[in-house]
Amino acid sequence: MPSLISLAVVALSVSSAVVVAKSGVPDPSSDDSNKGNYNKTSCLYIPGDREYPHEAEWNALNRTVGGRLIRGVPVAAVCYGPDANATRCAELQHDWGVVNFFLDNPVAVVPPYWDNNTCDPFVTLGQSLSDCQIGNLARYAINVSDASTVAAGLKFARNKKIRLVIKNTGHDFLGGSQGLGSLALWTHNLKNISFITKYSSPGYTGPAVKIGAGVQFVELYKAAAARGLRVVGGSCPSVGANGGWRQGGGHGPLVSSYGLGADQTLEQEVVTADGRLLTVSPTKNSDLFWALNGGGAGNWAVVLSSTVKAHADGPVAGSVLFIDNTHDEKFWAAVTAWTKHLLVLNSLPRFSSEIFITKDVFALDMATWPGATQAELIEALTPFYESLRQLNITPTRNETAVQNSYVEHYNAYVGSDQIFTRNLTIGGRLIPRSFVQQETLVPNLTATIRNIVENNPDTTVYYLGYNASYARTGGVTAQTNAIFPAWRESLFLINLVTWTDPQATWADQASYLATINTWQTQLRDLTPGGGAYINEATFNDPTWKEDFFGSNYGRLSTIKKKYDPDYQFYVKPGVRADEWFEAADGRLCRVQGHH
């Protein structure tokens, strides 16, 4: 697999935390005037406070959860102290830029911004353990096995007034899977996958699969393929099939065929803030089901399992096409031509695409068209080929093929053993179909993207072409789930990805986010109301309510109050997150007037 493609599909991701960034963009849930000056009785406790749980209290919790409590230890702790392991530490140094080692740890998180260099492996072996800090990662994690362990964790965090987080894989760019002094509910080991030949409900009859909260796409794709089925999932194999991805929306190459990840959900088993085990579906506790599917990750209830649609597998046509930039005006005209041609491509049932753009390369790194023949795919792309010919551009690579199944297609274009980098900061924008239809505006978008990549050689821009409209969701409507109108009306999703070094200082990490926020502002100015994808975003987007939730915010806010009145599930920028602020010492405090 060429490294460019590897980097490309690696693409989707993000980051961030507590920052008032250089640009002066405010943290959505803080008010500077509060930061150093809080009333502790309206705050949660953090380590160092007299009230923070003592050893004996943690031990009591451990007994309640049957010995499933784990003390949080950073992955690089193996490099420190008298028991340091040279082999393991060398492996970590080698792979510090990829996601692998962070996924299985009960508290570790992938995005460098949140990890914040508090314990990295680039040290003299055996250096003092006191130099390896847990930082903002959870202090303890419960190895979740069932509803009772979840309920015990919720109760403990509430009674002790400490922060609670949910950690699945730790991919969350916005920092939802970690928090200072927190107790984590670690869902990673809920790995059950069971197929249902014929699920039957008012909205759907057909094959389905019940997935435990800890299942990752790499596992789900394989299990489904073995049964002649495919499921909608992400481009990245290590992301959780049933955590933040689905709750925030969930995109991937099959979106144009069946809808977003959230559109696949049929029913879920969840534990609510008050410890109740509920089944939610379009007909049971339908308001909570609605919010849990598109209303943002980690803000509603703890999901134990989801039952989701499965679809009959079959051949999938795919394509790649690469162009080198040998002439700026022609190269950028080709980008404009692609953008306009998406109007045609996205009207073809089931067609999805992913391109990436740097100042030197345009790459269609994956076109996905289930059910189409090679000839049909070439025909669909021919108007774009024609544009290239008129511009006198010859692709450096141009291939189309048909694979026998979705997994074979995925492996051919993404790679079965793909290693995903964590060296990035991400943001983006959903671009409305109506914007591209006003053809004269497309060159303005191209100019904005050109300006970004020409001035920032470490940045790659992705256009993910999906049709997530109701026409494609198999009966799902605005009443079924909380996917907001911007997704339904979009022609493609822009991801702005700045490649960064995980060892960059925190100030640098914060500045990457601030820069991405300024680009998002430029795109917002071009596409008012366009919205953004909450899973691939900056945590400190100043217009987060509008960008991530749009007209759904009011209803989501009511549902939040109903199911989590004390706001135990805090994620930023979740619905009603602005009722809290983070004080200068990192503790979470209630904004006055919201008790």
- Contact residues toward ligand FAD (CB under 6 A) are 12-13, 99, 110, 165-173, 176-177, 187, 213, 234-236, 239-240, 243-245, 247-248, 250-252, 297-298, 302-303, 420, 535-536, 571
Which position among 155, 433, 518, 522 is part of the footprint of ligand NAG (CB under 6 A)?
433
Which position among 378, 391, 401, 478 is part of the footprint of ligand NAG (CB under 6 A)?
378
What are the DSSP calls for 137-180, one per residue? S-SEEEE--SHHHHHHHHHHHHHHT--EEEESS---TTSTT--T
Q: Is the dihedral of CA 17, 496, 477, 371 positive or negative?
A: negative
Site for ligand NAG in 39-78 (CB under 6 A): 39, 41-42, 62, 67, 69-71
Q: Which is nearer to ligand NAG, 343 or 555 (CB)?
A: 343
- Token pair, residue 277, equals 């085990």
Nearest one of 16, 5, 4, 2 to 500, comparing CA atoms:
16
The DSSP 8-state label assigned to residue 79 in this structure reads: G
Kindly state the smallest distance separating residue 42's Cβ from ligand FAD, in Å: 23
Provide the residue type at 165 as one letter. Answer: V
How long, in residues, is the chain?
Answer: 595
Residue 432 contact, options ligand NAG, ligand FAD, none, Cβ 5-8 Å cut-off depending on partner type: none
Which position among 100, 286, 469, 557 is part of the footprint of ligand NAG (CB under 6 A)?
469
Residue 181 contact, options ligand NAG, ligand FAD, none, Cβ 5-8 Å cut-off depending on partner type: none
- 446: contact with ligand NAG by CB under 6 A: no
Euclidean distance between the first and final Cα of the chain, in Å? 54
Residue 355 contact, options ligand FAD, ligand NAG, none, Cβ 5-8 Å cut-off depending on partner type: none
Instruction: Return the bridge partners of 309, or none.
Output: 208
Site for ligand NAG in 305-334 (CB under 6 A): 305
Instruction: Provide φ and ψ at 32, rounded to 5°.
Output: -50, -35
Interface region with ligand NAG, contact rule CB under 6 A, candidates 236-244, 499-507, 512-520, 565-573: 499-507
Site for ligand NAG in 505-564 (CB under 6 A): 506, 526
User: Distance (Å, rounded) from C-alpha 233 to C-alpha 259?
Assistant: 10
Count of alpha carbons within 13 Å of 39, Cβ hemisphere only? 7
What are the DSSP calls for 117-141, one per residue? TSS-S-S-TTB-GGGS--TTS-SEE
Residue 136 contact, options ligand NAG, ligand FAD, none, Cβ 5-8 Å cut-off depending on partner type: ligand NAG
Q: Is 253 strand, coil or helix? A: coil
Nearest one of 473, 479, 489, 488 to 555, comparing CA atoms:
479
Binding site for ligand NAG (CB under 6 A): 17-18, 39, 41-42, 62, 67, 69-71, 85, 87-88, 91, 96-97, 116, 136, 143, 145-146, 189-190, 192, 212, 305, 346-347, 349, 378, 385, 388, 395, 398, 400, 421, 423, 433, 444, 467, 469, 471, 491, 501-503, 506, 526, 595
